[in-house]
Amino acid sequence: MVVRDLANIQGFSQQCISDEPFEISDAYTGDLLSDVMGNAPSDSVLITIQAHKNTVAVASLAQIRALVICNNRSIPPDMLQAAKEEEIAIFTTEDTQFEASCKIASALGRFDAGQN
C-alpha cells in the first residue's frame, strides 16, 4: 500500500502528507528513538507516542515514510513543519499503539507478523 492508504484507516486523522506516492511495506512500533533508528525497516510506518520534532528527524534518516501518533497526542507546529519539509506523513489517532498497530497489520495484510 502507499502512504495515502493510511488515511482510510478508521480513526486516523491526516495532519500532513507528501505528494509522493511512497510505498509502505512494513511497520514498526516504538517510542525509544534509537531503538526505532536501529530496528525500524525502511519504507515503513512508525506507530509511536513521541510527538516531537526529533521523531521526524529519525523517520527521515531511517526512511520511515509515515508516523502514526497515538493516544490523541497533539502535534507541535515545529514537528508539523519539519514533517512537511522531509516529506513524512503524520496521522493522529485516539487509538493506543496496540490498537493502531493491529489496524495497520490488517491494512498491510501482515497477519503473519511475528510468525517467522
Partner 1 sequence: MQEIPINTYTSPNVILELIYRLKVKDVMTTDLVTATKETKLRQIQYIMREKQVTGLPIVVGKRLIGIVSMDDIIQALDKGYIEETAQEHMTRNLIVLEDDMPISFAISYFDRFSYHRFPVLNRHKELVGMITSRDITSTLLVEINREIEELEKRTCTSSLSQEMSGEIHTYSIMKNDFENAGYASTEIKKRLKSAQIAPHIIRRAAIASYELEMNLVVHSDGGELIAEYSPQTLQITAKDSGPGIPDIEAAMTAGWSTASEWIRSLGFGAGMGLPNVKSVADDFTIESGRNGTTVVCTIELHPNHEEE
58 binds partner 1 (CB under 8 A): yes
The DSSP line for 36-84 is HHHHPPSSEEEEES--SHHHHHHHHHTTEEEEEE-TTPPPPHHHHHHHH
Determine the size of the site formed for partner 1 (CB under 8 A): 21
Which cell is 62 given?
531511517
* Piece of 1-9, 19-27, 46-54, 95-103 that binds partner 1 (CB under 8 A): 46-54
For partner 1, the closer of residues 17 and 56 by Cβ is 56
Kindly give the interhelix angle for 53-61 and 77-86, rounded to the nearest 10 degrees. Answer: 20
Spatial separation of the C-alpha atoms in residues 101 and 113, rounded to whole Å: 11
61 binds partner 1 (CB under 8 A): yes
97 binds partner 1 (CB under 8 A): no
Which cell is 40 given?
525500524
Q: How far is the CB of 113 from partner 1 (least distance, A)?
A: 22
77 binds partner 1 (CB under 8 A): no
The residues binding partner 1 (CB under 8 A) are 31-38, 42, 48, 50, 52-55, 57-58, 60-63
